[in-house]
Every structure is written in C-alpha cells, then in structure tokens.
Amino acid sequence: MRNLSTLILMTFAFTSFLGSCSVWDQLGQDPSNEMLSSYSNSPRFNWEEKVFENRIPDILEKMNERIDWRLTLEYFTSDSSRRTPDKPLPEVNPPDLRAFLEPTDSLRFIWLGHSTLLVNAQNKLILFDPVFSNSAAPVNFLVQRFQPATLSLEELPPIDYIVISHDHYDHLDMRSVQFFRDKEATFLVPLGIKSHLEYWGVASKNIVELDWWADHEFEGIRFLCTPAQHFSGRTGTNQTTLWASWIVDSPNSKIYFSGDSGYDEHYQKIGDQLGPFDAAFIDSGQYNERWREVHNLPEEAVQAAIDLRAKQMIPIHWAMFELSLHDWNEPIKRSQQAAEELGMELMTPKLGQVVDLSLKNQFSHWWEQVQ
C-alpha cells in the first residue's frame, strides 16, 4: 500500500513536472496521415515507409552503425572543460539596429549565434532558424545556451519572413514560434513543418510549405527551398518532416543558408544551377567523424562554399550550444585554416555585429579572447 502511494505521488510529481515545463507541447505534432498523403508526389517521400529520405536512402542506417556505446563512453570520459567557453563570448551589445534598419539596396545581417540569423534584404526583415529560448531541448535544463541572445524576441524589429530549415530543437524553437503567432510574419518551411507550427497556434495562411527545388516569391524576394543531407524529428528520428537549405534571392544580392547538412553533391548542384552567391552561411560546427553524414566537418563546409560558388562564407552552427564533443572554438579554428588553404573568404562577425555586404566590414579574431 505504501509502495502504491509512493508510486501515485511520484507519478503525480512527474506529470506536474512535465506539465509545468510544457514538455508535451515542445514535442510539436507530426503531420497527420492526410498531410502525409499530400506529400506523395515528392520524390523525397517514401510512401510505403511514410518517411522523407536523403539522396542516398540508407545513409542514416549506415551512420547509426558507427554510433554505439563507445560514443557514450567517450562523452563521459573525455575532457569536457573546453566544450563550452570559460567566460561570455564578446558581442556587440546592443547591436546597432539603427544602422541595420537604414534603407538599403544591399543586404545586411546580424548573426545571433548557432544558426539564428537576422537579415535585412533590401528592407525586408528575414529571420532564419530563430532560437531565443534558454535551452535547445524539450526540457530547459538540457542543452543550455552559452549566454543570452544579443537581442531578445521583444527587442527584434518587426519581422517580415521567418525561414526554418528543419524541426530539431536547436533550429525550431517553440517559444520563438509562439512569439510570432499573433504577428504578421510569414513562415517559410520545408514539407511537414507546418504541422508543428499549426499545433503551436500559427495561422495556416501565414505558412508557406515547400519541397526541395520549389520556390515562392514575396515582394520581389524569391525564397528557394533546396536540398540538405540530414534528418528530422522531435521525438527521435521520425523523418516525417523534411529538412532543407534555403536561398534568398533579392534583386541585388543572393545568399545561401545551409540548415544542417553533411557534405554531399547537392552543394555543387545548387552552385551550378542557382549560384553564384554573395554569401553562404554554412553548418560548420557540432560535427563528429561518426556523424559526418549529417554535419559537415569544417573543411567540408569550406569546400561546400566553393562548390556553391559563394564569394564569402560565414561559418554557423557554432558558438551557442554544446551538441558535440569538440572544443567550443575548434569549428572556427579549423574553418579558418581550411579557408586559407582553399582560398575562400571567411566572414567572422561577432555576435550582434551588423555586416553589410556592400561595405568593407571589419572582422576580428574575437574567439581568441576566450578559452
């Protein structure tokens, strides 16, 4: 009887804990069967399995064979002290929003760490993979930020478009999405993600869902959904939503945003068909040899920028969350070395720094101030 009361008490405590953290809401909502059937024309969609697939369909299975107990062992036995910075990263705080918002024929951006990026493309404001929560996980004590975002959601200027690459927690943040549900912003997302957004209260009319190689134009700006080599799911590797990279093509500038991706021939294909690009933001962090199919190594990221025919490259997916075993600053060190060797121009903005593609920008080795 006593055991039973303890069990009931524990169940109650656990459920209240889950409820208070809104963990269930965090999981989002996978697409319904009806939604999935509407994807049957997509060459990426395996109708029998009801999953989206990469160009090489069994690439994740092969990768998973290398991910076993030894990885867990390494995680707990290797030196973790350098996976996070020993003090706050230098930043431009507050960012110069006046300069950022001045009318422009060019394109400006502010990188907010990891893959969160604010862009002013000829006076339209676009937010990529907005993650402003304290944590990139369903429960807030896991995968915590290194430091608060240089701009909070409330401090952001009015956003016109929000571009999402895929539904992992470090790219699709429920709290950030909910902040915009009563605003005017239009979401551009890969197939399936609409289901999560609607579940969190975003109106269907404010969501444009695209397959790879499809595009949508708004006010002279063309958004193209392009391939990536990755996976998806908020409760495992469900694969019922698509992952993607994106191109924003405005009359005077064209940029590429890689989302999360391993190195594959899609970079060359996109470069040949849709390049060159004024700037390419490429996944360059949280890599590991064991999962290189789903995250570029830094050297591969630089090669990707070359394949894309990008004039300049900005390494992203680093400097905010610890999701791998490498030192927090290894991505930028290796990116720099590779960029020098391969002849790619690297932009290394501080968090919060305004960068204007039409100007000569100043970049420092700011990461060297932190261990």
> Please, what is the minimum distance in Å from the beta carbon of residue 16 to Zn ion?
30
Of the candidate spans 26-34, 118-126, 258-266, 314-322, the one that interacts with Zn ion by CB under 5 A turns out to be 258-266
H or E segment to which residue 99 belongs: helix 97-101
Alpha carbons 371 and 355: distance in angstroms, whole number: 25
- Report whether 124 contacts 221 (CB < 8 A): yes
CA dihedral 86, 90, 94, 95 (to 10 degrees): -130
Alpha-carbon distances of 34 from 30, 94, 165, rounded to whole Å:
11, 46, 23
Distance between CA 154 and CA 171 in Å, rounded? 19
Query: Residues touching Zn ion: how many (CB under 5 A)?
Result: 2
- Per CB under 5 A, does 260 bind Zn ion? yes
DSSP code string of 203-235:
-GGGEEEE-TT-EEEETTEEEEEE-------SS
Greatest alpha-carbon span in the chain? 74
User: Minimum Å distance from CB 139 to Zn ion?
Assistant: 18
Give whichever of 232 and 312 is closer to Zn ion, judged by the CB atom.
232
- Closest contact distance (angstroms) between CB of 263 and Zn ion is 15
Q: What residue type is assigned to position 145 of the chain? A: R
Binding status of residue 234 toward Zn ion by CB under 5 A? no
Q: Least distance in Å: CB of 32 to Zn ion? A: 23
317 binds Zn ion (CB under 5 A): no
Nearer to Zn ion, 168 or 175 (CB): 168
Q: Is 30 in the site for Zn ion (CB under 5 A)?
A: no
Scan residues 155-184 and list those touching Zn ion (CB under 5 A).
168
Q: Which two tokens stand for residue 129?
A: 């993979």
Residue 293 contacts Zn ion per CB under 5 A: no
Task: Select 293 or 299, whichever has its Cβ closest to Zn ion.
Answer: 293
Q: Could you tell me which of 131, 212, 138, 220 has the C-alpha nearest to residue 178?
A: 131
Identify which range of 69-77, 256-264, 318-326, 357-365 contacts Zn ion by CB under 5 A.
Answer: 256-264
* Region from 34-42, 194-202, 234-242, 255-263 binding Zn ion, contact rule CB under 5 A: 255-263
- Pick between residue 260 and residue 293 the one whose CB is nearest to Zn ion: 260
Smaller CB separation from Zn ion, 100 or 318: 318
Which positions touch Zn ion (CB under 5 A)?
168, 260
